[in-house]
Chains A and B, each alone.
Chain A
Amino acid sequence: MNFDFSDDQKQLRDEARKYLAEKCPPKAVRTVLDGKEAYDRELWKGLAEMGFLGVAIPEKFGGAGAGHLELCVVAEEMGRALAPVPFSSTVYLAAEAVLLAGSESQQQKWLPLIASGGAIGTLALFEGNGNPSPQAIKLSASGGSLNGVKKPVPDGAIADFAIVAARTGSSGRETDVSLFLVDMKADGVEAKTLTNVDPSRGQAELTFKNCKAEPLGPANEGWSILSQVLDRAAVLMAFEQVGGADRALEMGRDYALDRIAFGRPIGSFQAVKHMLADMYVSATLARSNCYYGAWALSTNASELPEAAASARISATQAFQHCAKNNIQVHGGMGFTWEFDCHMYYRRANATALTLGSLSYWEDALIDRMRKRNAA
């Protein structure tokens, strides 16, 4: 047993941290947050050049072919830096879906484009309120044409292609769902940017009107593929969340050491110390759950569904907890636009919802634990 990342993987993490510290300071995040840019194009190009976009994409498709443990350490750094780029939608969702279910020609077309920074991808799953479920998918597909509306779609307005979940049956079962791949330059699809709680990452509404689409994976197996994609993305997103949680904790700690009130650093008051200690505890529990998820993801273990749900819940809680209390430690300054605390608070609450909310994953975790216990 060795429950830790290897020295090479830790070196990759250091490299990514150093790169992002230089190329993605809070100022860069603010450029997108303030609406001056839809995403940080320079950074996206740089991430491609560094090989970070294709870390887990096989070499034959233009990636580094390193693997998912390597992708986990990069994801953590993206979260730490609040990178204002479509990394999670392109790499965790679109690339994973194409890797899992794409045809040879789809893989040959899109994966090299992703790795080189030439294509942004996303997953169009949700249709308004609610969590992932086969019944909630109303957008219809017939004769290879899609009709319906998807929202919110992460990075939907800047995407070059989208994986779209559509209804292809009416049995009321999971097999009613199929996946399609849509080139966003195609006729019959329109994207509209939507305002959201974390403007450093875009959300969009996609409207499909007789939009021609090619199938991704076998017909009627869309839900099963989606479930796998969501589990894989949950682990990767959890690493982003843990990266964000750690940074929020550090910001709180540093401020508590620096800020003097009542003649002493506020970090010497137990009320503040204990709040920070609890933040450390939740970040640590989340990190440990994430490591288990990373192991399950990288080995395609049968434990992955349960491990992914645990990592997702734990990391969501930790990021929300740390981001929220980081503001509290900062007091009034934490509630200003000028201080960076709100950027973590926004990201924490947005990432908490983007793959389905806590209640969805809580439900999934208990289902999966029961299945294991019954087995």
Chain B
Amino acid sequence: MNFDDTPQEAAFRSEARAWIAANAPKQYEEDLRKSSLGRTQLKGANILEVAKAWQKKKADAGWACLHWPKEYGGRGATPIERVIWQQEEGAFGKLSGMFIIGHGMCGPTMMAFAGEDQKRKYLPPLASGEKIWCQLFSEPAGGSDVAGLRTRAEKKGDDWIINGQKIWTSGAHYSDYGILLTRTDPNVAKHKGLTMFFLDMKSPGVEIKPIKQANGQSDFNEVYFTDVRIPDAQRLGEVNDGWNVSLTTLMNERMSIGAGVATGFPELFEFCSNLMLEDGPAIDDRGVRSKLANWAVKASGLKYTSMRAISALSKGERPGPENSIGKLVAGSMVQDVAAYALDLQGAAGVLSGPEDAEAAGKFQAMLLRAPGTRVEGGTDEIMRNIIAERVLGLPGDIRVDKDVPFNRIPTKGRE
């Protein structure tokens, strides 16, 4: 058990550190450091442009998608090297937010199921951030129940014709491509009639409408498909085998979302260190300390759990369902942390304007964004089911719709 770099790892670290020092967009470092859940903004700059420029620079020098093979735009790096890079990239890593879905989910799915020519064509610009990808799975009638989706794909000659609606698509409004899960056979059980595709988001018939979230921002979209044509060559996996293809995507989603989830703890610790209460600094108060300590061990527990997972990964073990822990713990923690920071501010905690609120309103923004973290990428309840069933081996729920043809499953308005 050790945390020391091997000579090769140390060499990698110093090379990464030197390159970052010479190339990172330093002028935004302070703003990025202060960014937290619900509030990432750069003064006087468009974050999308800054992020794309940084990603391209990294890709040109061989620092993008480190663990991907070189021929697809990566570096062929080890899992440990990937961690070292993240440690060295520090606050600049927050610029990767809009690439997470493409790099973490769409890329690995393409790598597993696309043809060799397609991989060479699409993956390098995905790695370099020149093209952004999104994931089109959730629907109004199928959130946690993804396999209940209804967007239809019907074969016409060499093409498929897509009609339906997706929802909760992160970043669809700035995405170039997407991976799309559709229903190709409604006459069989719901998991058995799905097929996966990838498509150009600029295809005729694709219409994107931003969703105004409860916190007033718009990170997600509704995406409507009206007679959208996708060539059969863009199918990923076999017809009606889309459920298995999506499991690859979702497994990678857990790895990428679980890895760097925000807990809000570093922000709260700093806040409590500086905040003055009636009797002195907040951090000297016994009650405050108890709360902080309880969150501190959750945050460190998550950090070391992910280090254990990386150690296992570097020994060739596959990422397992136990990685669901990260999102489950951090999601509700960031919500509790934000609410507590407001509580410490007393009546003034209600103020959210950057000029009036403590910590420039960071915790108010966090509080309002937090409910989404417990839902997106699998709700807390789905995460607990995954742990209970796949880690602890408890029985699955009784599924009344499991062996019923999809078009016979009762829904609202269809008894």
Contacts and interface: CB of A to CB of B under 8 A. Distances in A.
A370 interface: yes
A285 interface: yes
A289 B297 contact: yes
Interface stretch (B100-108, B348-356, B392-400): B392-400
Contact of B304 (A2, A3, A6, A280): A3
A281 B381 contact: no
Contacts of A3: 1, 3, 304, 307-308, 310-311
A210 interface: no
Given A294-B1, A295-B3, A313-B297, A277 B392 contact: yes
A281 B398 CA distance: 24
A3 B312 CA distance: 9
A281 B329 contact: yes
Interface string A230-265: 000000000000000000000001001100000011
Interface residues of A, number: 48
B301 to A, nearest CB: 3
B325 interface: yes
Given A284-B322, A310-B297, A365-B297, 4 more contacts: A2-B2, A256-B394, A288-B300, A289-B301
Contacts of A286: 301
Interface string B1-41: 11111000100000000000000000000000000000000
B311 A369 contact: no
B305 interface: yes
Given A270-B385, A365-B293, A4 B312 contact: yes
A362 interface: yes
22 contacts: A1-B80, A1-B307, A1-B310, A257-B394, A265-B395, A267-B388, A273-B389, A274-B381, A274-B384, A277-B387, A280-B392, A285-B305, A288-B301, A289-B300, A292-B300, A309-B293, A310-B301, A314-B301, A359-B290, A363-B286, A366-B289, A370-B283
Contacts of A280: 387-388, 391-392
Contacts of B385: 270, 273-274, 277
A9 B83 CA distance: 25
A253 B392 contact: yes
Contact of A268 (B5, B300, B305, B398): B398
B294 interface: yes
A50 to B, nearest CB: 23
A29 interface: no
B134 to A, nearest CB: 30
A373 interface: yes
A370 B303 CA distance: 19
B302 interface: yes
A268 B394 contact: yes
Given A291-B308, A313-B293, A313-B294, A298 B1 contact: yes
Chain A to chain B: the 8 pairs with minimum beta-carbon distance, closest first: A285-B301, A362-B293, A288-B304, A273-B388, A277-B384, A268-B395, A277-B387, A267-B394
B394 A291 contact: no
A369 B283 CA distance: 11
Interface in B370-415: 381, 383-385, 387-389, 391-398
B1 A291 contact: yes
Nearest to B312: A4
Contacts of A208: none
A294 B307 CA distance: 14
A1 B395 contact: no
Contacts of A47: none
A268 B396 contact: yes
Contacts of B398: 264, 268
B258 to A, nearest CB: 12
Contacts of B1: 2-6, 69, 291, 294-295, 298
B75 interface: no
A195 B304 CA distance: 39
A361 interface: yes
B289 A284 contact: no
B307 A253 contact: no
Given A253-B392, A270-B397, A281-B329, A369 B296 contact: yes
A275 to B, nearest CB: 9
B298 interface: yes
A179 interface: no
Contact of B328 (A268, A281, A288): A281
B286 A267 contact: no
A53 interface: no
B269 interface: yes
Nearest to B300: A310
B292 interface: yes
Nearest to A367: B289
Contacts of B283: 366, 370
Contacts of A317: 294, 297
B273 interface: yes
